[in-house]
Chains A and B, each alone.
Chain A
């Protein structure tokens, strides 16, 4: 059971002055583990983004002869082949693409739009708006997330097949329509729970910046609310917001992997680490073909680990109480 509460550590931190950001970057690069993590993430992201160029084989090309299936690693197939003779290395690269796309979408919807937007609104407006937003967050934080996510995806998947057939016939999407619809469902199931942590961080920051004299001065000069929020409050909020996001990246990516593992996310032939692992992840399969599980899980484990290390290093740089306050 994960007791991750890095967001709450940050919540306690005070406002950060803008020039400190550059010093933070320098300090971050001084941490060896963080540099390793960044290097790995660069490899992972470039492999995923340029998947069609990087992958040596078509990730969906099957070869069903006995010899071609479940091969061990070789020069031709770096990670071997899976139960249908598909090149596992290429499938892993396309799975990385799924992970990248999913985290990006959830970060835009749950993080930037809901997390940052609602956090700024709550922190700057205060009053009943603040109370309402924070209560909703408390309520959503209080329900058992996984079972609700499962219930949402399971109840929508059955009925939404018609929609994907319609999209397949009537739009340019063709066979991608099914994947797109399933992708939308898991994004829809994850987003409602993805904004709570970051909105809390943003609200806390916005609350304290709102009280500073430069905001009062801007208000006195008649600056519009939009201008105050975007020019005066946002820059102070961003550093901690980014730190919070990086600490929650592994969790966001993990929910897609878990849902796909359960057969509720991206299905084959679409490649996701979840369905690659579920194809390989039973003790008898592992006993006979260990490379299937290792090759399909290690890249994503390192991805989680790298984001956790990076998040940890960033939190550490912002550590509020290294020296005595009182």
Chain B
């Protein structure tokens, strides 16, 4: 391990604690202070006041919020995320974990496809800079980005499902041909964003000395583009890929809803509408935790690549 890397990683991880603390306090207070009460949600509004009071006491909702928060955090430390009011007799973690797993696998496939298409498209557009092919490439992918999923889905379901009969539409597990459409719908709109960043990154290295040197050495253009330009332009993409990773566990609300996929996006909507307090809280905390961790990971990766960041000596460039 590089000198100082361990200490740097520990310092960054320690910084994550106050950030997560602030997020958890803010969300906890917001949910507890918002109109509506978990007990209302459990009892569905037809109840005796004594019954409600008994439940409030049982779950501790009668206590001041900071006491409730401390209790919640104590339980969280033991892996208890609370109870679901929407699915009676299930804990919040029993509700969300299987669904997160479904969404994560689908989201991961989509992410791989997005970058597998977006990176070459970005390189191509950058190399075609100055011709009409550059704006044409980027803007045609941007068109896909402009179509909301809930418009694209019924049209594609009709075309490929009903009219042509190529793909089935019901949910039959993650590894089935029925997932082809959902994965494509999740991946293709993101291509424009990746391509645009990759294009900017490639344009940034095009005029570097090592590119000129590589050409002067008489290397084939193919080699120059792949090993000298693309490789160096990939650096900023580390951040983009890293920051996209936590997002795949959040699921895709509209796609899951319209394809009947039992993922976490669908559950988020249902939980927010119910409202299912502990499930919402668990989802928000889980998402924030992953986001903060992804940020730490990126910083550490960068400091591996560029040790100056670690010691804070100048910003380079």
Residues of A within 8 A of B (CB): 1-6, 9, 31, 33, 135, 138-139, 141-144, 146-148, 150-152, 154-156, 158-160, 250, 254, 257-258, 261-262, 277-278, 281-283, 285-287, 293, 297, 301-302, 304-305, 308-309, 312, 319, 321-326
Contacts and interface: CB of A to CB of B under 8 A. Distances in A.
A1 B187 CA distance: 6
Given A139-B19, A156-B34, A305 B142 contact: yes
Contacts of B151: 277, 281, 293, 297, 301
B275 A151 contact: yes
Nearest to B142: A308
Contact of B154 (A154, A250, A281, A304): A281
A146 B284 CA distance: 10
Contact of B269 (A143, A160, A262): A262
26 contacts: A3-B190, A3-B194, A9-B197, A135-B22, A142-B23, A142-B295, A146-B253, A147-B280, A151-B34, A151-B275, A152-B34, A155-B36, A155-B275, A258-B254, A261-B148, A261-B150, A281-B154, A283-B154, A287-B162, A293-B155, A297-B148, A301-B148, A304-B148, A312-B142, A319-B200, A322-B203
Contacts of A321: 200, 203-204
B244 interface: yes
B43 interface: no
B247 interface: yes
Contact of A150 (B27, B35, B269): B269
Nearest to B291: A142
Contact of B138 (A151, A287, A312): A312
Interface class of chain A by DSSP? helix
Contacts of A151: 30-31, 34, 272, 275, 280, 284
Contacts of B158: 283, 286-287
B146 interface: yes
A285 B155 CA distance: 10
Interface stretch (B67-75, B81-89, B106-114): B106-114
Contacts of B26: 139
A304 B252 CA distance: 20
Interface string B117-152: 010000000000000000100110011011110110
Contact of A286 (B135, B145, B147, B155): B155
A326 B317 CA distance: 8
Interface in B137-183: 138-139, 142-143, 145-148, 150-151, 153-155, 157-158, 161-162, 169
B1 interface: no
Interface string B181-199: 0000011011011101100
A3 B240 contact: yes
User: 10 tightest CB-CB pairs across the interface, nearest first?
Assistant: A159-B35, A150-B272, A144-B287, A3-B193, A305-B146, A324-B207, A304-B146, A155-B34, A142-B291, A283-B157
A1 B113 CA distance: 11
A202 to B, nearest CB: 20
Contacts of A312: 138-139, 142, 196
Given A1-B190, A9-B200, A33-B135, A150 B273 contact: yes
A69 to B, nearest CB: 20
A139 B146 contact: no
Contacts of B157: 283
Given A5-B240, A144-B288, A158 B36 contact: yes
Contact of A147 (B107, B187, B252, B284): B284
Contacts of A262: 269
Interface in B274-289: 275, 280, 283-284, 287-288
Contacts of A9: 196-197, 200
A33 B275 contact: no
Contacts of A1: 107, 110-111, 114, 186-187, 189-190, 244, 247-248, 252
Contacts of B22: 135, 139
A150 B268 contact: yes
B191 to A, nearest CB: 9
A40 to B, nearest CB: 12
B208 interface: yes
A144 B283 CA distance: 8
Given A31-B135, A148-B284, A2 B34 contact: no
